[in-house]
Amino acid sequence: MNSYQYEMSATIEAMLEFAGWAEGAALDHADLAPETINVMLVCLHELVSNVALHARRKSGNPTVKVCLQFAAGQIAVLIEDDGQPFDPLTDTPVRADTDLASAYPGGRGVRIVRQLTSAMSYKRSGEWNCLRLEIAARSV
Amino acid sequence: MEIESEVLDNGILLISLDGRMNLKDIQEFEQSLRALVKGHRAVIIDLSGLDYLYSMGLRSLIKCAQMVQLKCGRLVLMAPSKEVLAVLTASGASTLMPICRNRAEAIAAVHS
């Protein structure tokens, strides 16, 4: 199993460098199918940008720690942040889309992640939100 | 992210997105897209050059589709990659905007 770790201050400015790191980690695994890489990058982007945009602390920006574990057939992703408690599994209800006119344009990030991953779990550990994802990894 | 636009002979506005969306540019992207779409009733957005689609970019597309619909028009999406299509489907957006494989399909859909 190959493991990668990254730590950042959750700011919009830091997202670009983080995205480059995540893509580099994925590209180290030449056998990963492009759609699997896409799922991993989209999920990381949605969840880390949620912290950068919405998480609050009494002082300063939250810290985000990301761990990626690549194993045969699966990528495990652990995202930890020390922002305010936030469980995306219960705090983000999915709004049903009935038609375009009444559709809510935003708030679809967690819904995308839930649809694209094979498992997702959350726990609060001390001052940290800990989110774990499992992504089914297809090979080319 | 590059945004190009042209008005086709039949009056349809064709917008092409090329490259990668990022969080820093998303406000500018949405403002540019809304300015282009304003006043048009038939809009095709070509996604074939888009590397990744995130929810913030998707929000801009849905807002623009709603703007066009308010003018009794239609906005359709064209030629997303397999990866971008997966996000459109997962988000539920594929039930809100027609998604067409090519320009001929998109032109037919925008007038239907």
In this prediction, residue B34 carries a pLDDT of: 96
Residue B34 at interface with chain A, using a CB cutoff of 8 Å: no
- Cβ–Cβ < 8 Å for B21, B56: yes
Q: What is the number of alpha carbons within 13 Å of residue A138 lying toward its C-beta?
A: 11
In this model, does residue B16 exceed pLDDT 80? yes
Percent of chain B residues topping a pLDDT of 70: 100
Which ipTM value was assigned to this complex? 0.90
Nearest CA in chain B to A107: B55
Task: Give B26-51 pLDDT, tens digit per residue.
Answer: 889 999 999 999 999 999 999 999 98
In this model, does residue B24 exceed pLDDT 90? no
Q: Hey, what are A128's tokens?
A: 């940290």
In this prediction, residue B20 carries a pLDDT of: 84
Confidence (pTM): 0.92
Task: Give A117-134 pLDDT, tens digit per residue.
Answer: 999 999 999 999 999 999
In this model, does residue B22 exceed pLDDT 90? no
Instruction: Tell me which of B47, B60, B83 to substitute to probe the interface with A (most A C-beta atoms closer than 10 Å).
Output: B83
Domain ranges of chain A: 2-95+106-136
In this model, does residue B25 exceed pLDDT 80? yes
In this prediction, residue B53 carries a pLDDT of: 92
In this prediction, residue B54 carries a pLDDT of: 92
| A84 or B21: which leads in pLDDT | A84
Q: How close B42 comes to chain A (CA, Å)? A: 16
In this model, does residue B111 exceed pLDDT 90? no
In this prediction, residue B30 carries a pLDDT of: 93
Out of 3.40.50.2000, 3.30.565.10, 3.40.50.880, 3.20.20.70, which CATH number does the structure's domain A2-95+106-136 have?
3.30.565.10
In this model, does residue B15 exceed pLDDT 90? yes
Task: Give me chain B's average pLDDT, please.
Answer: 94
Residue B110 at interface with chain A, using a CB cutoff of 8 Å: no
Task: Give A7-16 pLDDT, tens digit per residue.
Answer: 999 998 898 8
In this model, does residue A95 exceed pLDDT 80? no
Cα torsion at B27, B33, B34, B37 (round to 10°)? 180
Rounded Cα–Cα distance for residues B15 and B23 (Å)? 20
Pairwise CB contact (< 8 Å): B55 & A100: no
Superfamily of domain covering B2-111:
STAS domain (3.30.750.24)
Rounded Cα–Cα distance for residues A78 and A67 (Å)? 5
Task: Give me chain A's average pLDDT, please.
Answer: 92
Residue matched to tokens 């695994």: A29
